[in-house]
Amino acid sequence: MGIVSLTINGRPVEVEAGTTVLEAARTAGINIPTICAHKDLNPYGSCRMCIVEIEGVRGYPTSCTTPVAPGMRVTTESERLATLRNRTLELMFSGHPNSCLVCLHREACEQYRPQAVKAARSTRCGFCANRDECDLRAMALRAGSKELDLPTLYGSYTLERNDPFMDRDYNLCVLCGRCWRICEKIHGQPAISIINRGKWARIGTAFSQSHLYSGCTFCGACIDICPTGTLTDRFARWHGKPDREIASTCLLCSEGCSIISQSKQGQLLANVMIGFDRTDSLCALGRFAYAQIVNTGLRLIRPMEREGEDLIPTDWEAALETAAARLLTAKKKTATVISETITREERFLYKELTRCLGGELFVLQSSENEDNAVAAALAAAVQKGDIQALIVNGALLPAAVVEQIPFVLAIDCLPSEISRLATVVLPAAILSETEGSFRTSSGVIKNIAAASVAPGYARPEWSILCDLGRAMKFDGFSFQTAAEVGDLISDDPAPEIFAGNPRHNVRELPLRFRGHDLVDIVPALDAFSPLHSVKAAQIEETADGGFPILEKKEIVPNMHFYKIHAPQVAGFAQPGQFVILMARETSERSPFTLVDWNKEEGWISLVIEEVGRSSRELASLQTGGRIAHVSGPLGMPLTIERKGTVLLGGGCYGIGAIYPLARALHQAGNRVICAIEASSSYLLYQQAELQEVCDELLVATKDGSAGVRGGVQEILSWVAGQEPIHQFIAIGCTFMMRMVTELSRTLKIPTLVALNPIMVDGTGMCGACRVSIDKTTRFACIDGPIFDGHGVDWDELASRRSAYARQEVEALSQQVDLNELVLRPAGESCGCGGH
Amino acid sequence: MPNNQDLAPILAGYERTRENLIPLLQEVQDRFHYLSVESVQAVADHLQLSANDVYGVATFYAQFRFVPPGRHHIKVCEGTACHVRGSDRILENISRLTGIVPGQTSADGQFSLERVACFGSCALAPVMVIDEKVYGRMTASKTTRLIEDKK
């Protein structure tokens, strides 16, 4: 390979022959924008952002696919190139929701709402989990323009959730092909490909079957290489950008794959591969399930000691004291049974402790459950009374054996039959919460780094064992760090090779951790079980009783219309009131404004935006289904008076919510102007219905694709300039209501807003919906929801509304859409590719 | 639905190289009139490709079908000449009569519908073809009679 000399932007550059112009420019510190290019992928040349001018070469070649040649004179920046790149970006954005990028109020909105809304489909950056990491957005913001000349063509693909771990929103896809290319690179035969052609081209699987059947091994590389928010890890999706990445090792089987653990504020979000190479690939457990295991709400979080029938929470000191005292009485009659899914240091200390007690240590493989060879051997010894004490770190023995042992010390992370029978239970930090080293089945010693904080009072096993050893006055347990322990280990054997090959076959995953069945912790793993269709059918059956859904449809992305049979509510409903719904008996209560009702026919209608767990549960119900509870009508109705000209402003769900107010105010003889806003034209709805009940309907969109460019705010200014407004009423997101209220204050227009704080009972008992109006505390549920907009303490409302942001993200269901899997088995697509 | 055994003689005629993908798909479709899930998988296995890859290639080309055709296969020309002479009205009429859109097969298996770019019979525009028989200078009422006859 020779050295090639060329000039880029007039600067001489020397690179090896075979280098691409793009790489050469990067070597010289010259940045060329790219989307489809990636350092770990072969040149592809699909996005055309990296075009350059080369003297003597016709047109604008893509630098990522053009090899350098001697004497080449390359220009990477020119007015012409900038225009062409901006055109390319515009073309890409015509198929990618972009309203936030052209919105006149983006900066204020993003400051007000630092976290993206956890919507189902991402219809704008503000609804996108990838907002802070999006290459496309970064590029558009760098270009600086707020003008996009091309119309938005929203894809209208449904959000795909028919696999255990991914949310796929192909409405965001720009077809850069990084995903299928990395899949092909790592796995040889890709589990995804570009299907169909032209406008209908998209990433998909053969016959649009679930990834479960397309050969996907769930290594997550496609998610990690996607430059947009199209592909996301369902668990990590709404947690935001990780604030820490640290190299570590997976402990779930003896293969000990290298991982990068990503965490945020001490919470593990995901493990990703150390590089985009075949040898770096991870199995579904290592990539996706790890964080769910660590973060499960089932974890043991405090030491416990048995008192009679009960396990009573206690402190570490007391628990260790009891354990030490009881173990010392069972010297030479102690068995220690541990899972190999711990660090070398911990394994060493278990060995040392057992040796000091004169007992015997048994180490089990990661895939073992309670019925194993060790259990059989121990059963006999227990029968003979040879075992008086047991130290166990998982659900590794059958209850029948354990209950015959006088003293059981469980050092574990999850409750099990054993921890329920134990005398002392000590909560252990696991996986990403501990540190040390791990010897893989191939004999290599790898580092384990602590990437997340253990829950509650849980502590790493090495430190528990040190304390236990010291409490029994054994020598050799005075270690301050795991590393000090590690220094003493020299001759530990490599663990047995794990029998399966989970990185290449999802059916060979070790679905156990310390003997615990992982399906109980990571529900989505159930999708790997052949029985999932049976369980899906059971989900259907739970809907009995409740309120029948007469009609349900998604009118625009994320916005669901419901017509519900609820005669009691319909009989008493008045404009401005709301109902509280519970999708299922176990759902949380959530309030929704009434859109319409019919006393005679006994129905009510609602528009619900899918932005969290409760609304997702509601959205999953269909026509003919039932809503477990509908209580209402609640709240104070709007006082309907003849005021003159009334302007009603509605955004998002507010477009539906202003409808009954418009109708009543119109009937009362007011001149009613309805102003509705949406991000883009494809998100507008209910225009015909509103037209019928108002004198004038004005539309605004953030991207200018329909009506005025802007929002209710812009319409308010315009109308105020045309005619006097006697009353202004705004319903929508808190940001919109706040902005328009500030404007109407300067315009001196009396303003009412319908507030949407977190609400629980809706009857004034719990106080969750407390708001401050003119420095007085009011309850939105019984004093509102409609209040004088100029008196609202918006900062307080915003902070109260976001008080449970993290819990709300954690509450999002990780279940697979089993019904979708059952309803659309492989090969039943119509074959038209969604035309 | 073809099983792998039926495909074996066809597959045997092709070397296991990627270049053979399209000719192989064409022969499979000639024999079975469409590409089933099983045949796409069998072709993929034969050429050591992923079924997703094969499906991706096949869906790129208008000539491949993924649902069994009906007893009567209707092709409507949407080429320039036919288009200016109102082929969209003919297509619309057929969709109304059969309840299917291009790419689909009616539930009773009687009809399938396909949109075609040009038959080279522009002098006869607008043109449609039912079961390889060409019908020229079509009108909505003529198509109605044709379809009713075949029902």
Question: Which pLDDT tens digit goes with each residue over B86-137?
Answer: 999 999 999 999 999 888 899 888 999 988 888 888 999 899 999 888 999 9
Q: Do B65 and A830 touch (CB under 8 A)?
A: no
Nearest chain A residue to B54 by CA distance is A206
CA distance B51 to chain A (A): 6
B59 → closest Cβ in A180, A192, A195: A195
Pairwise CA distance, residues A721 & A471, whole Å: 81
Give the nearest partner residue to B49 out of A189, A191, A205, using CB atoms.
A189
Report in angstroms the alpha-carbon separations of A151 from A105, A128, A680. 20, 20, 10
Measured CA to CA, the distance from residue A127 to residue A610 in angstroms comes to 11
Q: Which residues of chain A have pLDDT under 50?
A: 532-543, 819, 821-835
Quote the minimal CA–CA distance from B56 to chain A in Å: 4
A–B interface: beta-carbon pairs under 8 A: 69
Q: Which of A163, A186, A187, A189 is most worth mutating to test chain B (most B CB atoms within 10 A of its CB)?
A: A189
Mutation target to probe the B interface, by most B beta carbons within 10 A, among A181, A192, A193, A205 is A193
Q: What is the DSSP string of A570-626?
A: HHH--TT-EEEEESSTTSPPEEEEEEEEETTTTEEEEEEE--SHHHHHHHT--TT-E
Instruction: Please tell me the predicted confidence (pLDDT) of residue A538.
Output: 47
Instruction: Please give the helix or strand (H or E) that residue A5 lies within, else none.
Output: strand A3-8
Q: Hey, are the CB atoms on A189 and B56 less than 8 Å from each other?
A: no
Q: Quick one: CA torsion of A440, A436, A431, A516, rounded to 10 degrees?
A: 70
pLDDT higher than threshold 80 for residue B71? yes
Interface of B with A in 51-80 (CB under 8 A): 51-56, 59-61, 65-67
Max Cα distance, chain B (Å) = 50
Picking from B41, B56, B103, the nearest residue to A831 by CB comes out as: B103
Interface of A with B in 205-264 (CB under 8 A): 205-207, 214-215
CA distance A182 to chain B (A): 14
Give A-chain residues touching B55 at CB under 8 angstroms: 193, 195, 205-207
Cβ separation B51–A831 shorter than 8 A:
no
**What pLDDT is stored for residue A683 in this prediction?**
92
Q: Torsion angle, CA of A567/A573/A578/A580, rounded to 10 degrees? A: -30
Whole-angstrom distance, CA of residue A618 vs CA of residue B28: 46
Q: Which amino acid is at A661?
A: L
Instruction: For A140-197, give the DSSP string.
Output: HHHH------SPP----PPPB--SSSEEE-GGG-----HHHHHHHHHHSS-S-EEES-
Q: How far is CA A834 from CA A157, A554, A824, B63, B150, in A?
A: 9, 17, 14, 17, 28
Q: Do A196 and B55 touch (CB under 8 A)?
A: no
pLDDT value at position A832?
A: 35
Q: Quick one: CA torsion of A651, A654, A655, A661, rounded to 10 degrees?
A: -130
Judging by DSSP bridges, how do beta strands A73-75 and A53-54 pair with one another? antiparallel
pLDDT for the residue numbered A831: 34
Closest Cα of chain B to A164: distance in Å?
19
What's residue A829's pLDDT?
38
Which DSSP state fits B49?
-
* Residue B142 neighbours by CB under 8 Å, 6+ apart: B135
Cross-chain Cβ contact B104/A832 below 8 Å: yes
Name the nearest CA neighbour of A354 among A492, A455, A469: A469
- Find which of A194, A200, A222, A829 to mutate to test the B interface (most B CBs within 10 Å of its CB): A194
Q: Which residue of B has its CA nearest to A189?
A: B50
Question: Left, alpha or beta for A805 (phi > 0: left; psi -120 to 50: alpha)?
Answer: alpha
Question: How many beta carbons lie within 10 A of that of residue B96, not counting itself?
Answer: 13
Q: Tell me whether residues B103 and A214 touch, CB distance under 8 A.
A: no
Residues of A in contact with B59 (CB under 8 A): 195-197, 833
Which of 26-55 (B) contact A at CB < 8 A?
36-37, 40-41, 44, 48-55
Q: In chain B, what residues touch A180 (CB-CB under 8 Å)?
A: 52
- How many Å apart are CA A219 and CA A233, to the nearest integer? 11
* Burial class of A765 by CB neighbour count within 10 A (0 to 12, 13 to 18, 19+): exposed
Q: What is the spatial distance between Cα B80 and Cα B87, in angstroms, rounded to a whole number?
A: 9
Residues from chain B that touch A835, judged by Cβ atoms under 8 A, are 101-103
Question: What are the chain B neighbours of A830 within 8 Å (beta carbons)?
Answer: 67, 103-104
**Cβ-based burial of A801 (10 A; exposed 0-12, middle 13-18, buried ≥19):** middle
Q: How near does any CA of chain A get to the CA of B37, in Å?
A: 6
* pLDDT score recorded for residue A1: 62
Predicted TM-score of the model (pTM)? 0.87
